[in-house]
Structures are given as C-alpha cells and as structure tokens.
Structure 1
C-alpha cells in the first residue's frame, strides 16, 4: 500500500474517532478519552499538525497528556467505563441470543477491559506538575 494511502486511512480513522469522542463529551454512553487517544494515534500516523493540535487542545489535551506521560485514567472515566461495560454485559447475559462461546469470549474481554482500566492510576504521581505539558 502506498505511503500516501496509509496516511489518508490514518487521517480518516483519526477524524472518525475524534468525532465519536466529541459526541461522547455530550453523551454519557460514549467514552471520550479512549476515543480521543485513538484519534491521537491516528493523527500521529497521518499528520503531525493534527496530532499536535489535538495533543494541545484546551479541552481534550490535558487528559491525553496525562495518559501519555503518566498512564492516568481519571476516576470519572473509570466509573463510566465500568458502568458501560456492566450494562453491556447485563444486556448480553439477559437479553441477547448469542452462542454460549461468543458470550464467554465477550465477557472475558469485558473482564479484561475492566481489570485494565481499574489497574491504571487515577491521579498523577506525587510531585508531578499541575500542568501536564511541563511534566518530565
């Protein structure tokens, strides 16, 4: 695949994740920060300018910088993730008619996701600057 085509695909992915994340800022069902992290990744492979714009964005930049520098997931994001995953798991268990193996795999992935999210730090480490752009 040509380099230019790859960059365009990364940009399309980045913009799609950005718009979903932007919608998630207003709807509690969509997790804004993980979608913005994916958008940042897409932009980093497609356009340095867009990557820098999102990374330094006044609204989304601080949480992206916290993730980049400290691997921090704020408590609000953790609670939202656990609530949405719990809702999805409940729906699959009680209201879906998927094969048992698909249910087991889905629940296993959800448990992995919850474990990962809850195992990340909720705050910057002690001594870290209040401004994430000035972190070491």
Structure 2
C-alpha cells in the first residue's frame, strides 16, 4: 500500500516536471513522461488510463516514440531546443574539448534523429 502511494506521488511529480518541460527547454519532457507512465502503470489503473489518453502523452510519447511520426515543424522545434540547450555551455566554457563534445552531441542528434524518424519510410 505504501509502495502504491509513493509511486502515485513520484509519478505525479514527474508528470508535473514533464509538463513544465514542454514550455521550458531545460527540462526533458519525454523521460519524465516515460517515468510517469511506468509509475502510474504500477500503481493506479485509473491514473495510467487518464495519462495515456491525455493530449500530451499522445503528442510526445505515442506519436513520436511509439509510432515514430513527427511533423517537420515539431522536429525543427525539437532540434532548435537541443541547439539552444547545447549553445549555452558552448558560449560559457572556453574549452576546445567541451566545444568539440557539444558539437558532436548536436551532430549525433541530427544523424540519429534522421535515422530514427525515417526508419519506417
């Protein structure tokens, strides 16, 4: 019973953080939503059902990661957010090594994102 309550509370917190992450690019939406789905699946059928039918779950988990479908505008928005998040440390740190790593991470997002979303086409 205590485990169920803890899962519901932590799932609620991760749902809130994931939803805030939609509007703030520094918080990742998808990992928090996946955590929410896992915790609510193991604690409450009603909460899990509510969550999987929500607009946010359908947009950020169902379409993008299960069906591997994303519009060009959502992909551009996602890459723009990744670019902004990686640009901040790129500007702050005056280290060639850090900058090379950040550029490599961004290029990896481009390459693997292209492969991931074009795999079924």
Quickly name the TM-score band, shorter chain normalised. Answer: 0.5 to 0.7
Higher helix share: 2
* Selected match of 2:114 from 109, 113, 118: 118
* More displaced stretch, 86-95 vs 11-20: 11-20
Q: Are the structure 2 counterparts of residues 50 and 85 from structure 1 closer, same or farther at C-alpha, using a change threshold of 3 Å?
A: same
TM value normalised by structure 1: 0.57
Question: Of the two structures, which has the highest relative contact order with CA contacts closer than 8 Å and spacing of 6 or more?
Answer: 1
- Tell me the equivalent position of 2:46: 49
Residue in structure 2 matched with residue 60 of structure 1 by the alignment:
56
Q: TM-score, normalised by structure 2?
A: 0.62
Unmatched segments (≥5 aa) in structure 2: none
- Cα distance, 1:106–1:55 mapped onto 2, change above 3 Å: same
Query: Cα RMSD (Å) of the superposition?
Result: 3.7
Where in structure 1 are there 5+ consecutive unaligned residues?
Answer: 126-136
Superposed counterparts of 1:53-132, under 5 Å: 53-57=50-54, 59-63=55-59, 64-67=61-64, 69-96=66-93, 100=97, 108-121=104-117
